[in-house]
Amino acid sequence: MNSSELSDRDFERISQLVYAQCGINLHEGKKELVKARLGKRLREGNFRSFSDYYKYVITKEGTDELITMIDSISTNLTYFFREEPHFHRLRTIVKSWFDAAGAAGQKRRQPKLRIWSAGCSTGEEPYSLGITVKETLNGFPADFKIIATDISTRVLRTAVNGVFPNEKAKNLSPEILRKYFQLGHGRWEGYIRIKKEIRDMIDFSRFNLMETPSSNFIFDIIFCRNVMIYFDKQTQASVVNKFYNCLNKGGYLFIGHSESLTGLDHAFKYIEPSVYRK
């Protein structure tokens, strides 16, 4: 078989493997996408066929390539302040929480705020969260941290570096760009980088949403947007209930504007489209 051909049998086996590993549901309409993205891996690894490639990634020796395969198939379209109304809502939530903390005299012991960006891709979302909270707090002392996770090690490398091409800045106001980004010079001409004060707010790590979070994964707010659209209903319900268990009482879950929890068995309270509360 020519390596450029993807049989129905091989597509089915690869789809089942991807689903088992990370919950992504690759229906028949995704066959050409899989062929295009994994075809490059076949050429780079000198595999004769998709069948040979599949047989390799399910072995112990193929563990690293299996991770690379998942990286290749994952979709990573994102930009700063995507679905901007969510950040307006976040600002309102953060302000009300810290206003209440100040009224209760908690300034001396710095109220805590923990946010999880689940499926953070190349980092635009968690950095947008950090900027939003920084702007909202306006110097108010707080113990604040963002945990940002993704299944793809490739996108996490970009996220940690915080370096992006200039076109990523097109939705940023001149004020935000000036306050929180450095402009590249010399060989970095045409790039921007998130300033250290925002980078230091965020801990990036690899996490598979099919796994069970550790007991210290407890948050006040979870953002998981435009991720669950790739899951079937059963997987969506499982992930949503994991999120529920990871939230403090009164915590918020943000999902993508094109997503909904309708039809899923869950305990969240509906607040507004794509926003839920424990």
Hey, which residues are catalytic here?
37, 150
Taking alpha carbons only, the member of 69, 81, 76, 58 closest to residue 34 is 69
SS (H, E, C) 101-137: HHHCCCHHHCCEEEEEEECCCCCHHHHHHHHHHHHHH
Query: Hey, what amino acid is at 89?
Result: R
Q: How many CA atoms lie within 13 A of 168 on its CB side?
A: 22
Measure the CA–CA gap between 172 and 165, rounded to whole angstroms. 13
Residue pair 221/117 in contact (Cβ under 8 Å)? The answer is no
Residue 74 to residue 22: CA distance in whole angstroms? 10
Residue in this structure with the two tokens 């112990």, named with its chain if needed:
60
